[in-house]
Amino acid sequence: MFFNHLKTFRNAKGFTQEELAVRMNVVRQTVSKWEQGLSVPDANELIKLVELLEMPIGELLGAKMENVRIYEMPVCKMVSSQCGMFGDENFNKFYEWYSELPKTMWSKDFLWYDTNRNGFVWYYMYDETLTVPSDFEIVDFPGGLYVVATGIDGQTNIDAMNAIKEAFYTKKGFERDNSRAELGNIITSPKTAATLGYSQMDYYTPIKIRIE
């Protein structure tokens, strides 16, 4: 229940009810009522609590939520930008090409870093209806299992996120698959990103079932 979680997280941060009340700009009795289940904070107060206690809102509310997922991507073909960097002509052409394609519910483009060639490669999931410019290649994609977490593009602490993902997949019976590259996928539309002020990004780490 929310009131049990609130007290636990407040204690974990070392706040007294009075100290939390001051930071929330409410009286101590309000915090006491929240923790007794006699009242609940409104939406704005919940947002402020999440920021102060540095906890995901799902955990604060006691919801059964997982912030890390496991996807199984199919073996398929991808349209490849070929290796380059942002600002390069081939990257600009690739972005212009796939931006004109019909929008789908899920993004079909993925970015990964080629350590052998020291550059990024942009993929778009291929199907036979696509007209692919001659500048781009169509390559085989091996598919497989990925552990995925969502962050904020350019702002998320990647090391911390990777530590959380590793703890998750290790506990669940998986291990890192070093034969495949990590992928990135912007999941926020330009219109939504303009409203949010940032873009959400899914970070994919390749994994496989651990064989004991």
Q: Which CATH architecture has domain 68-209?
A: Alpha-Beta Barrel (3.20)
pLDDT at 27: 95
Mean pLDDT of the chain: 89
Instruction: Identify the DSSP state of 42.
Output: -
Express each pLDDT in 175-187 by its tens digit.
Answer: 999 999 999 999 9
Which pLDDT does position 61 carry in this prediction?
63
pLDDT given for residue 63 in this prediction: 55
C-beta of residue 120 within 8 angstroms of C-beta of residue 84: yes
pLDDT score for 75: 97
Determine the pLDDT at residue 3.
Answer: 63
Among 103, 186, 88, 182, residue whose Cα is nearest residue 135: 88
* Helix, strand, coil percentages in the chain from 3-state DSSP, rounded to 5: 35, 25, 40
Task: Please indicate whether residue 171 or residue 63 has the higher confidence score (pLDDT).
Answer: 171
Amino acid in the structure at residue 46: L
Contacts (Cβ under 8 Å, ≥6 apart) of 9: 53, 55, 59, 60
**Tens-place pLDDT, residues 55-114:** 766 666 665 556 789 999 999 999 999 999 999 998 999 999 999 998 888 889 999 999
Q: Copy the structure tokens of residue 142.
A: 């091996």
Give the span between the Cα atoms of 2 and 91, in whole angstroms. Answer: 47
Question: What residues does 175 pair with on adjacent strands?
Answer: 208
Average pLDDT over residues 7-33: 91
Neighbours of 79 (CB within 10 A): 22
Taking residues 132-155, report their average pLDDT: 94
Q: Are the folds of 2-60 and 68-209 the same?
A: no
Among 71, 78, 49, smallest CA distance to 61 is for 49
Domain boundaries, the chain: 2-60, 68-209
Which of the two residues, 49 and 30, has the higher pLDDT score? 30
Which of 21-25, 59-63, 198-202 is least confident?
59-63
CATH superfamily of 2-60: lambda repressor-like DNA-binding domains (1.10.260.40)
Contact 82, 136 (CB under 8 A): yes
**Better-scored residue on pLDDT, 29 or 2:** 29
